[in-house]
Amino acid sequence: MAVCQMMGMSNCGWPLNVAMTLQKHHFFAVSYIPKDNHYETLGMLSLVPQITQLWRRRRSELEGTVMDVIKEILAQQTVDSQDLGEQQVDEAYVQLYLTYDRENAGFGSVPKFPSPHNLLFLLRYHNRTGSSAAWCMVEYTLDKMSLGGIFDQVGFGFHRYSTDARWLVPHFEKMLYDQP
């Protein structure tokens, strides 16, 4: 995903299609590609021959670009060893508070993702500060998710996300990391 975004692509969702060197370094990345050209979008049957030609004609240039992308990704992932201060933690809480959907729970509008990292942060924030608002956001979100269509009542677990704001219409896909 980071490679797709670094290559200037604005549509970096799933499925993510990637072309790589033999060393498994990415030199092309894009989200969904239809089989045929459609609505000014290049189709897979047209794209693959173009990538093949590009690889044959400009391989050394592509391999150089790959190394630039790798260096940029590594530079962006450098973590500052300084601990987060109370001010940064409070600012993160305020950002979550401002994006919280008070009517339907969760964060943002549509689609609605479970966002367990946000919920875990809020639980830790509650434990640290005693914030009842942080606790209520977690509790209400979990209630809405478990009572909505995102919860798989037959197979258990949670679907990847809800396609509506009320957690009722699931996107029928499950991710292992979202399962209890």
Domains of the chain: 2-76 (3.40.30.10), 86-178 (no CATH)
The amino acid occupying position 9 is M
pLDDT tens column, 94-110: 999 999 999 999 998 89
* High-pLDDT (> 90) share of the chain, %: 41
pLDDT tens column, 104-129: 999 988 999 888 899 999 999 999 99
Q: Model-level pTM?
A: 0.60
